[in-house]
């Protein structure tokens, strides 16, 4: 398992947080997601044999948020 921390731009409420979390958890290989919308931070633990950082970023961007 690997962990990655991402800066997620555009989250303003708990609904935003939940949308990003659900999108990430739907990816095969993602084991856990911790998100704090107030500081625009996401920490993701995933299996690098099943997914990669680019897939995680795409899932966030597909929800309408940016990744720094």
| Cβ-Cβ contacts under 8 Å for 62 (sequence gap 6 or more) | 23
Give the pTM: 0.90
| Structural domains in the chain (count) | 1
Q: Cα 43 from chain centroid?
A: 7
Strands (E), the chain: 2-9, 30-36, 41-46, 66-67
What CATH number does the domain containing 38 carry?
Answer: 3.30.70.100
- In angstroms, the Cα distances linking 27 to 4, 12, 38, 39 are 14, 23, 24, 23
pLDDT tens digit string along 15-60?
999 999 999 999 999 999 999 988 999 999 999 999 999 999 999 9
Q: What is the pLDDT of residue 16?
A: 92
Q: What is the pLDDT of residue 37?
A: 84
Domain that holds residue 7: 2-67
Residue 5 pLDDT > 90: yes
Q: What is the pLDDT of residue 21?
A: 96
Q: What is the pLDDT of residue 34?
A: 96
């Amino acid at each position: 398992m690997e962990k990655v921390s991402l800066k997620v731009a555009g989250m303003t409420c708990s609904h935003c947080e939940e949308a990003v979390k659900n999108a990430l958890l739907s990816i095969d290989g993602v084991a856990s997601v911790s998100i704090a919308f107030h500081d625009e931070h996401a920490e993701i633990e995933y299996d690098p044999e099943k997914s990669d950082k680019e897939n995680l970023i795409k899932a966030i961007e597909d929800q309408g948020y940016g990744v720094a």
